[in-house]
């Protein structure tokens, strides 16, 4: 009787050991895949920025140029349309 109980305990321990080893293997695989996943995401983001950086720099240069031009236009004096020469008035009325 004691021996039957001992055999059952040993069988349960062996079964638990197999299950625990499988869980450990799954955890290692999941951790590895998560590292690969984030490496791909971060790597593709950095490489996309590296590839697109010249275009981004050009867009920023054009934006700054437009912004400075707009600020200069805003500081122009007001022009009185009534004091324009007749030739220019006729061009504006077309």
pLDDT for 11-61, tens place per residue?
Answer: 999 999 999 999 999 999 999 999 999 999 999 999 999 999 999 999 999
* 85 pLDDT tier (thresholds 50, 70, 90): confident
Instruction: Read off the pLDDT of each residue in 60-74 and give the average, rounded to a whole number.
Output: 84
Residue with more model confidence, 24 or 68: 24
Report the alpha-carbon distance of residue 4 to residue 63 in Å, rounded. Answer: 84
Instruction: Read off the pLDDT of each residue in 83-94 and give the average, rounded to a whole number.
Output: 77
Q: Where are the alpha helices (DSSP H) in 1-94?
A: 2-74, 86-93
Instruction: Record the tokens describing residue 51, joined without a space.
Output: 């590839």
pTM summary value: 0.54
* Domain segments of the chain as ranges: 2-72
**What is the number of other CB atoms lying within 10 angstroms of the CB of residue 24?**
10
Phi and psi based region of residue 68 (left: phi greater than 0; alpha: psi -120 to 50; beta: remaining): alpha
What are the Cα distances from residue 21, in Å, to 2, 16, 27, 35, 91? 28, 8, 10, 21, 88
């Amino acid at each position: 009787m004691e021996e039957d109980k001992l055999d059952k305990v040993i069988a349960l321990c062996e079964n638990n050991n197999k299950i625990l080893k499988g869980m450990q293997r799954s955890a290692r695989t999941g951790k590895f895949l998560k590292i690969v996943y984030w490496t791909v995401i971060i790597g593709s983001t950095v490489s996309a920025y590296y590839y697109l950086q010249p275009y981004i720099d050009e867009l920023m240069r054009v934006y700054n140029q437009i912004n400075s031009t707009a600020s200069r236009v805003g500081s122009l004096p007001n022009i009185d349309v009534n004091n324009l020469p007749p030739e220019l008035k006729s061009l504006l009325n077309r």
